[in-house]
Amino acid sequence: MRDRVLALVASCIVTSHDSLTGTVMGTTLLAVLVVYFGLILGISVWGAFRTHTEVDFIAAGRSIGPIVGGAVLAASQISAGTVVGTLGRHYLTGVSWWWIWFGVWAGWLTSAFLVAPRLRRFGALTVPDYIAVRFGSEKARALAATLIVVSYTIYLVAQFQASGEIALAVFGIEPLTAMLILVASTAFYTLLGGVRSSSYIEFLQTLIMVTGLALAVPVLLSHAGGVAQSLTFLRSLDSRLLGWYYGPKELLAFGVSFGFSIAAAPYEMTRFYSMRDERTVKRAIGISIGFQLMIGLSVMLLGLLTRVLFPNLASPDQASSIMAFEVLPPLVGALLIVAMLSAIMSTVNSILLVTGASVAHDLYGRFIRPQASQAHLVMVNRLSILVLAFIPIYFALQKYGDVQAIVVAQTKFISSFFFVPVVIGLNWRRGTAAGAFAAMLGGFLACLVWEFTGQGGFPVHGIDAVEVGVVTSLILFVLISRLTRPVPEENLKVFFGDNLKR
């Protein structure tokens, strides 16, 4: 969804790059971008000097505190799909879409109480690490790592494709060049300083998003004529804008879908390992929800106010870019564009970190060269990030089409793979390796069938593919686990006993 949104926005601003050059907005944007990338470079180099071991690279030496940690979790989740897509959704449908956030936060709270503390206490480096130890199975680790690499590489294809289209429309840069710039900038700080520099860069990016969006609200409100006038206009335009555009069943389906994907998203879960301790993780999740609340509120208000200013856009996805270029003053507009860029970069960065770690730590380090030194593994991790960053470019240039379906399905697949083995696995001792295998594969297949075949999916049955995938995964996990040999006690003690690593 977020990538179709980006593509539509880009296609709607065809002449923007002409109006950008030689204007105040263009000069200001260039200056802000120079400062922004300068800061990123500085933080990357600082992080690189402090990165020597795998723990440094993949987990920032477990040094991240709650505020930076909260910003990291928020930045990883908030992509351009929020700043562009969700804003456009509010533009078109009004306030009711905001209820989705409760599904997202339910996912975070599930993570905070049922997942994150035990994962952090376990003290590993990756999610496949957890899968391997919890279920006593290196095959399960390999499956999990492979699924992560494949599904997230597909996700990157969509990000790159949409980013290339935006760059063409906004800056007049060819998609390939834009993608190479995105890879060069994001992959550069990712492979240089790993999670340590990424964390502080994402802290900066979160602050930019919060500030840029928040500052835009009073500008639009002032132009719109104030709260009372805006509300009266919106109510007259379409009463559903301030009421219930979506029904409870739809909102529940979307919320559950988002919630499942948050509770079991590997690229979020690996960040728990970088935080100081369990208490830090819980506090970070709380702070992350706070950042999301600020961003979510701003995005909703901006969507509604853009509807007051431009009541009949051809596509709601144009709303954020039109706001940035046509309404906001130069600095605030530039900040918003940098916020959109930050949202893309932070998500790409998080994906590269988790896929790089899956290749280097979980596949190479376990199956190809188990005796590799720390320095060697860090080098392999950096190389993996570099390669994994370039692979999606080829596929993005081919434009295989229907990016939206691929990205939305990818989110559902991840939930169907991992929600049960992670959330239930951390809270039910009886889960076995065979059960986890069956849960991951079965959940994925059920989700695939429901989403893409003639079952009709949500519009016909009112049941989303992720719900089918997770329920199937749960049933298989419980049934197969009951019928197979339990996991050795020494594995379970790590998660359920007193023998806990700190």
Kindly state the number of chain residues that form the binding site for other proteins, as judged by CB under 8 A: 43
Token pair of 67, please?
């505020």
- Under the binding rule (CB under 8 A), the answer on residue 14 touching other proteins is yes
Q: Is 331 in the site for other proteins (CB under 8 A)?
A: yes
In whole angstroms, the minimum distance from the beta carbon of 276 to other proteins comes to 17
Site for other proteins in 38-97 (CB under 8 A): 92
CB of 341 to other proteins, least distance (A): 16
Q: Is 310 in the site for other proteins (CB under 8 A)?
A: yes
Residue 348: which of 182, 192, 193 has the closest Cα? Answer: 182
List, in sequence order, the alpha helices (H) in 399-498: 403-419, 433-452, 457-461, 465-483, 489-496
- What are 122's two structure tokens? 């376990």
Are 500 and 437 within 8 A, CB to CB? Answer: no
Compute the least distance from the CB of residue 35 to other proteins, in Å. 9
**Only segment of 49-57, 210-218, 265-273, 372-380 that touches other proteins (CB under 8 A):** 210-218
| Site membership for other proteins, residue 499 (CB under 8 A) | no
Stretch that binds other proteins, among 9-17, 265-273, 354-362, 385-393 (CB under 8 A): 9-17
Residue 27 interacting with other proteins (CB under 8 A): no
Residue in 22, 312, 401, 454 binding other proteins, rule: CB under 8 A: 312
**Where are the alpha helices (H) located in 310-373, listed in sequence order?**
319-322, 330-357
Helix axes 330-357, 374-398, angle to 10 degrees: 120
Which residues, 229 to 288, sit near other proteins by CB under 8 A? 229, 232-239
CB of 33 to other proteins, least distance (A): 14
167 versus 468: smaller Cβ distance to other proteins: 167
Query: For residue 144, which of 325, 333, 311, 362 has the smallest C-alpha distance?
Result: 362
Written as six digits, the tokens of 401 are 């089409």
**Which tokens sit at 25?**
């907005």
- CB nearer to other proteins: pick between 177 and 229: 229
Token pair 């994994």 is at which residue? Answer: 388
Nearest-angstrom CA–CA distance, 420 and 4: 29
Q: How far is CA 348 from the centre of its chain?
A: 8
- The DSSP secondary structure of 99-148, one letter per residue, reads GHHHHHHHHHHHIIIIIHHHHHHHT-SSHHHHHHHHHT-HHHHHHHHHHH
CB of 226 to other proteins, least distance (A): 8
Q: Candidates 95-103, 113-121, 326-334, 483-491: pick the segment binding other proteins (CB under 8 A).
A: 326-334
Q: CB-wise, 74 or 354, nearer to other proteins?
A: 74
How far apart are the C-alpha atoms of 198 and 271, rounded to whole Å?
A: 10
In the complex with other proteins, the residue whose CB is nearer, 32 or 433, is 32
Which residues 456-485 are close enough to bind other proteins by CB under 8 A? Answer: none
Four-CA torsion 258, 264, 266, 272, nearest 10 degrees: 110
Of the candidate spans 52-60, 133-141, 222-230, 478-486, the one that interacts with other proteins by CB under 8 A turns out to be 222-230
The 10 Å Cβ neighbour count of residue 229 is 12
The least distance separating other proteins from the CB of residue 245, rounded to whole angstroms, comes to: 10
Question: Can you tell me which of 314, 453, 488, 499 binds other proteins, judged by CB under 8 A?
Answer: 314
> Which CB sits closer to other proteins, 310 or 395?
310
Coil, strand, or helix at residue 499?
A: coil
Please say whether the dihedral angle defined by the alpha carbons of residues 275, 427, 78 and 98, taken in this order, is positive or negative.
negative
Regarding 500 and contact with other proteins (CB under 8 A), the answer is no
Cβ atoms of 100 and 255 within 8 Å: the answer is yes
Residue 14 or 375: which CB sits closer to other proteins? Answer: 14
CB neighbour list of residue 328: distance below 8 Å, 6 or more residues apart: 216, 219, 220, 336
Single out the residue of 6, 13, 125, 348 in contact with other proteins (rule: CB under 8 A).
13
Q: Which of 308, 380, 420, 492 binds other proteins (CB under 8 A)?
A: 308
> Interface with other proteins by CB under 8 A: which residues?
11-15, 24, 92, 207, 211, 215-216, 218-219, 222-223, 225, 229, 232-239, 308-315, 318, 322, 326-332, 335
